Amino acid sequence: MLPQPARAESPERRPEARARPLEPRILVVEDEAPLATMLRYNLEKQGYVVEEAADGEEALLKITEFEPDLVLLDWMLPSLSGLEVCRQVRRNPATQDLPIVMVTARAEDQDSIRALNLGADDYVTKPFSVEALLARIRAILRRRGRLPAAERGRRQFQDIVLDLMTRRVQRGGRTIHLGPTEFRLLDFFMQHPHRVFSREELLDAVWGADIHVEPRTVDVHIRRLRRALNLPGEADVIRTVRSAGYALDVEES
């Protein structure tokens, strides 16, 4: 009897063919357990899949096994420092483009320069604002198209959230009612926070280059947007720059 040919294993049954989770993965490399727990809680709350490593050698192993989309990397670690982990990640062709955010108590300019020169994508000093850290992570992953499902189609600036799917806007949890033009205007600003745009640039971007309206029309809709966004006592997030235009920004006191 002739031997039967080996049965090919279907791609679905091969371990290497397992589909990656749709949600982005973040590896938290931190030897302070309370801080690691706090970071994990806040990241999972945003929809990220999180793994932890408590030292440099474990971090390198988890990077290979877990295949994260981003690494939060403490500088001062047992076994291998965060800098050495960063160096080895950048030397490996399989991980050389992996985003790394260095989180450290070292606040000297030379320390941040050293970390960035070794390949860190960002540098956050302890103590830090969780919201600020989440915003930095979101910015990096947005550029790579790896935001959680809850973040896709959603923009955020400080306490303002704009949902493109439902076309709803909230500030500090309260609903903001905007007309179609104000919604498009805010959406454009939120795609380019802090950048100043002239009236002409806003007309082209929000109304369209083929639509002929007066530049002062922008001022009317900016006033409406301000009234809708800002309650008494809240920071005005629309900054007027004399002779230049407008920006989504907060006036410095």
Q: Where are the beta strands (DSSP E) in the chain?
A: 25-29, 49-53, 70-74, 100-104, 122-125, 154-157, 160-163, 168-171, 174-176, 238-241, 245-248
Same-domain status, 134 and 169: no
Last residue of a domain, one of 143, 175, 190: 143
Q: Which is nearest to 66 in space by CA: 18, 133, 9, 13?
A: 18
Q: What is the pLDDT of residue 6?
A: 44
Q: Are residues 27 and 129 in the same domain?
A: yes
- The whole-chain average pLDDT of the chain stands at 84
Task: Determine the average pLDDT of the residues in 76-97.
Answer: 92
pLDDT band at 61 (very low <50, low <70, confident <90, very high): very high
Res. 215: pLDDT tops 70: yes
pTM: 0.55
Residues in the chain, how many?
253
Residue 241 lies in a domain: yes
Note whether 37 and 64 are within 8 A (CB). no
Confidence band for 150, pLDDT divided at 50, 70 and 90: low
Is residue 14 in some structural domain? no
Report the CATH number at residue 168: 1.10.10.10
- Name the residue with higher pLDDT: 182 or 107: 182
Calculate mean pLDDT across residues 122-135.
86
Rounded to an integer, the average pLDDT of 164-176 is: 90
Query: Is residue 238 pLDDT above 60, yes or no?
Result: yes
Residue 160: which domain range? 154-248
DSSP class of 127: S
The reply to whether 63 and 128 lie within a common domain is yes
Count structural domains, the chain.
2
Query: What's the pLDDT at 125?
Result: 85
